[in-house]
């Protein structure tokens, strides 16, 4: 298993059709970015920003498929935003599905950084698809994946946290002893956010364990 850390500049994000939404979110003072799901061309992101976003402007960006305001907490605003990069071909979806886990994007002051984990061939194919779309990625690191290959490694850090708390509280007991509202109260999250994390976590775990037809 190999791991590649790649960077893209603001110019590359612009070429992908993501420049305007990235700039807008960055100006809002992004505190945290967590990817809940990745589909190659984009994904479902949970954003925590310092300033409230204008829904009309957010929806006007071509890359934004859907968005939802979740809650306000500790002087920050939490949103779910689903994005698809219009400048990327759907051909990137194939190699993306062969990667382990998610893309785990990190926004920087002048671009973004993405982690790709999987077999060498899948990583190379993914990079080639980006190049074919006119997006030149800078390879920061390529080496052996230092993590383990357990099924739980297919989860994001937040998905794993929510799943573990749900399990400890009795969400998976028969009969079930707690609800998503109870878990949300324990984690100081919105109930819909907890449900989304659990659904994504369960799907990722099942995809690792069930045979692919």
% of the chain with per-residue pLDDT over 90? 36
Question: Taking 90 as the threshold, does the pLDDT of residue 41 lie above it?
Answer: no
Q: What is the pLDDT of residue 212?
A: 47
| Domain 151-209 in CATH 1.10.10 | yes
| Mean pLDDT score, 54-70 | 94
The predicted-structure confidence for 117-169, as pLDDT tens digits, reads as follows: 888 888 888 888 888 878 888 999 888 876 655 556 667 778 888 999 999 99
Domain segments of the chain as ranges: 2-144, 151-209
More confident residue, 184 or 93: 184
The long-range contacts involving 189-197, CB below 8 angstroms and separated by at least 24 positions, are 189/71, 189/162, 190/70, 190/71, 190/78, 192/68, 192/70, 193/46, 193/70, 193/71, 193/78, 193/80, 194/162, 194/166, 196/36, 196/80, 197/36, 197/158, 197/159, 197/162, 197/163
């Amino acid at each position: 298993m190999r791991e590649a850390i790649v960077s893209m500049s603001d110019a590359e994000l612009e070429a992908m059709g993501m420049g305007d939404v990235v700039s807008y979110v960055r100006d809002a003072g992004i505190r945290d970015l967590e990817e809940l799901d990745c589909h190659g061309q984009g994904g479902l992101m949970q954003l925590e920003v310092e300033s409230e976003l204008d829904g009309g402007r957010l929806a006007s960006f071509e890359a934004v498929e859907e968005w939802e305001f979740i809650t306000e907490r500790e002087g920050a605003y939490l949103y779910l935003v689903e994005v698809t990069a219009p400048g990327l071909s759907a051909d990137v979806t194939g190699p993306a599905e062969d990667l382990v886990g998610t893309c785990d994007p990190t926004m920087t002051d002048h671009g973004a950084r993405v982690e790709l984990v999987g077999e060498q061939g899948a990583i190379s194919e993914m990079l080639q698809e980006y190049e074919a779309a006119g997006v030149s990625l800078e390879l920061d690191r390529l080496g052996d994946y230092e993590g383990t290959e357990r099924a739980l490694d297919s989860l994001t850090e937040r998905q794993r946290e929510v799943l573990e708390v749900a399990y400890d509280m009795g969400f998976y007991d028969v009969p079930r002893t707690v609800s998503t509202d109870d878990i949300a109260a324990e984690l100081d999250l919105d109930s819909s956010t907890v449900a989304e994390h659990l659904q994504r976590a369960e799907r990722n775990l099942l995809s690792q364990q069930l045979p692919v037809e």
